[in-house]
Every structure is written in C-alpha cells, then in structure tokens.
Amino acid sequence: MHELGVLNSMVHTIERIVKEQNITEVSKLVIEVGELSGIVPRYLEQSWPAASYKTFMEKTQLELIVIPGIVKCKGCGRVFNAVYSDLCCPDCKSREMEILEGDDMIIKEIVCC
C-alpha cells in the first residue's frame, strides 16, 4: 500500500503552495483519482487521517472523485471502461489498448476558509 506515501508527499506539496499564498488553513481537499492510476481510493481515505496528522491539514476534509479508466482498443478502435471489461476488449478480446483517461491522480481543488 503506497497510498500513505503518496498522500504524505501531497501534503508537503500543498503546504508549499499555501505558504506562498499566505494561507494557514485548508477546509477541503479535492483529489481526482483515475481507476487506472494504481491508487485505491478506499486506501486513500483510510490513509488520510495518518497522512494529515499533526500537519496544517489535520482538520481538512478529503473528497475523492473517481475518474473512470477509459481506454481505446488498438485492434478495433472500440472505446470502453477497462476496469469493467477486465482489461480486455469486449468486441475483439484484444488486450492492446491505449489509455484515454483515468491513469493519473491530480489535485483538483484546494478549498480555503
């Protein structure tokens, strides 16, 4: 489980950003997590209390938006959700695909009060 490490570095990044803006409190943090990012949203939620403990974001609410893992089949061109199709094209059964979205994790919004 590398979610805690991911969150730790995210807290440091955000800390640097908000210090530059002279902000001392963040009420809500919105993160977009792609289904193909290798990050498990449930683990992110579980790790958040530990990652934010004794930081300026201890009271920050974490909101996750899960982005579907959409891919395009290199065989027939069909666009589909890779997770629901078990990483296999529902039409031609090819496993060669190009990721269109859902393979990364980004900080969508930092809400300050």
Minimum distance between the CB of residue 35 and Zn ion, rounded to whole angstroms?
Answer: 19
The Cα 27–Cα 44 span in angstroms is: 17
| 1 token code pair | 């489980």
Does 87 engage in binding with Zn ion (CB under 5 A)? Answer: no
Query: Which run of H or of E encompasses 111?
Result: strand 105-112
Is 88 assigned a ligand-binding role in the annotation? no
* Residue among 66, 54, 100 at smallest CA distance from 80: 100
Residue type, 35: E
Does 41 engage in binding with Zn ion (CB under 5 A)? Answer: no
The span of 10-18, 28-36, 37-45, 67-75 binding Zn ion (CB under 5 A) equals 67-75
Which 3 state secondary structure label does DSSP give 95? Answer: coil
Member of 76, 79, 106, 111 binding Zn ion (CB under 5 A): 76
Residues in contact with Zn ion by CB under 5 A are 73, 75-76, 78, 89, 91-92, 94
Residues annotated within the binding site for Zn(2+) are 73, 76, 89, 92
